[in-house]
Chain A
Amino acid sequence: MEPQPHLRIRNLSVSYGAQEVLKNVSLDVPDRKITVIIGPSGCGKTTLLKSLNRLLDSVDGVRIEGHIFIDDEDIYDPRVEATHIRKKMGLLSQKPQVLPMSVFDNIAYGPKIHGLRDRKRLRVLVERELKAAGLWDEVKDRLHEPASRLSVGQQQRLCLARGLAVEPEIILGDEPTSALDPQSSRIVEQRLIALKSEYTVIVVTHILRQARRIADHLAFLYLGELVEHGPAAEFFANPRDPRTRAYLTGEIS
């Protein structure tokens, strides 16, 4: 028997006011693989991703039912601190969202709030993360410039590095390449593939070709329902549900 995966979603339903956006979603997210969530726009992909690190908490009129377990800890248990859950996940948003501070401070921000004060160790950490992100050579002379002056592609890589600096276990990407040019997209995709040896990665996309390039595991979301999920090869070769087949052939989008 396979060991239980790290991240399990059980009977998750989310509504905004009267509109039910996720309907009874259950999914085991395989460890150290890239799970890609696909589905047409408005089907609830972003909502699903945000529910994983409790970013929905602050949304007006939201109702969340069901459970999400990380290592057997139910993240919606009232005793669990949202900050503790969020630290375990790095989030890449659709549009890169750098913090209003320098390149250096964007990376140092997370470790600092979690208690790392030593300036020398911060410098070492920032350099290490920027090198890992392949950004060091591009930004080493502009560490103290505002991060918003970087190109959009550099900003997205900076956001990824910023998330990794707090040592998460899971990486969430919400259409992380949709604002990027093709070359930056490829760099980010390759980074995600490299990261799966150490992290559990979940990426939302509506680009099927991207899903084929990076996915180990796929989940198809349609109108708030998790229609079908499975290993990538199987999913693309033998979709079971007629809606999945229709989506893969482009009949619904």
Chain B
Amino acid sequence: MRTFRRRKIEERIFKVLMLASTVVVTASLLVIVGTIVVKSLPALRLSMLVQTPKGGYYLGKEGGILNAIAGSLYLASGATLLAVLLSLPVVLYLNLYTRKSSVLAMFTRFSLDVLWGIPSIVYGAFGFIVMMTLGLRASLLAGIITVGLLEIPIMARAMDEVIRLVPPALKDASDSLGATKLETALKVVVKQALPGILTAVLIAFGRGIGDAASVLFTAGFTDSLPGSLLQPAATLPLAIFFQLGTPFPEVQQRAYASAAVLTLIILVISLVSRVLIKRFTRHTIK
């Protein structure tokens, strides 16, 4: 009897602890978003979204952050595209063309894990060195490549996890119809794993658009809209950083407004892709 009561108390205590953790996590999300929204309200107006910084913007004069919004969208889209083009082949190769015991596969997964853990400032510094060596200057392209590299381990590892879950029997079914490995990979495995693959792309995109350290030296910054791949491009994280660094409260408020815009972009992209995922993955076998 005593042990039963003890087990029941244990159960209760742990349930409360778990609930408390859940509340803490959810509440921090709300507090973060709430703070940004409240702080940004005084500065948030349409002109911020549709104008580039005018002269004296960082002193509190007229203008907006369209340069950074456009720059971030270009940069993160380009980087994510680059990361998909490299991650998907790697992951399909690891899962369909190498054996579980393959040294190459083990080493690749290990490398991806290490790359995942490397701080983004190191990617930035690396991109900077490469640029210097090649005699290039900070540009949208250099930013795309650096952020692409930053996204690859995140995307590839997330894709790897979902593709590994595709049942071997499904591959056998396609193989036994006489499909080549490539046909099985692209038409069956990718299709079955599509929800997870899209989620991986989304996570990587979120990481890419929000990262400041990797673009600091590589993409540069400019007050005009991105003109070409070879010109510098502004990004939202850096715009936030610069505005927050001024001594003027009204410019600092604009930093929070920029943060709200960045958060909103990520939110909208998550929601839209969720709808798309639903639409495109109705054939996935649960």
Binding site for B on A (CB under 8 A): 50, 53, 55, 58, 60-61, 82-84, 86-87, 89-91, 93, 95, 97-102, 109-110, 113-114, 146-148, 159, 162-163, 166
Contact = CB atoms under 8 A, between A and B. Distances in A.
B105 to A, nearest CB: 11
26 contacts: A58-B175, A60-B99, A61-B99, A83-B179, A89-B176, A91-B173, A93-B169, A95-B169, A97-B169, A97-B170, A99-B170, A99-B173, A99-B174, A100-B170, A100-B191, A100-B284, A101-B283, A102-B283, A109-B174, A109-B187, A110-B178, A113-B177, A113-B179, A114-B178, A146-B283, A159-B173
B169 A148 contact: no
B178 A97 contact: no
- Among the interface residues A61, A82, A83, A87, which one has the most CB atoms of the partner chain B within 10 A? A83
Contacts of B169: 93, 95, 97
B178 A100 contact: no
Nearest to B167: A97
Given A99-B170, A100-B188, A90 B283 contact: no
Contacts of B133: none
A90 B176 contact: yes
Contacts, number: 83
Given A100-B285, A146-B284, A148-B283, 14 more contacts: A50-B172, A55-B176, A82-B175, A86-B175, A89-B176, A93-B172, A99-B170, A99-B173, A99-B191, A101-B283, A102-B283, A109-B174, A114-B178, A148-B285
B190 to A, nearest CB: 10
Contacts of B192: 100
A99 B170 CA distance: 7
Given A97-B169, A97-B170, A100-B191, A163 B175 contact: no
Nearest to B174: A99
Contact of A87 (B177, B188, B283): B177
A83 B180 contact: yes
Contacts of A162: 177
Interface string B156-190: 00000000000101111111111110010001100
Contacts of A91: 172-173, 176
B28 interface: no
B286 interface: yes
Interface string B200-213: 00000000000000
A60 B177 contact: no
Query: Would you list the 4 A-B pairs with minimal beta carbon distance, nearest first?
Result: A87-B178, A91-B176, A110-B177, A97-B173
A152 B175 CA distance: 21
A163 B177 contact: yes
A98 B283 CA distance: 10
A163 B176 contact: yes
Nearest to B281: A100
A99 B283 CA distance: 8
B286 A148 contact: yes
Contact of B176 (A60, A86, A146, A148): A86
Contacts of A159: 173
Interface in B119-175: 167, 169-175
B12 interface: no
Contacts of A163: 176-177
A236 B121 CA distance: 75
Interface in B263-286: 282-286
Contact of A93 (B173, B285, B286): B173
B101 interface: yes
Contacts of A95: 169
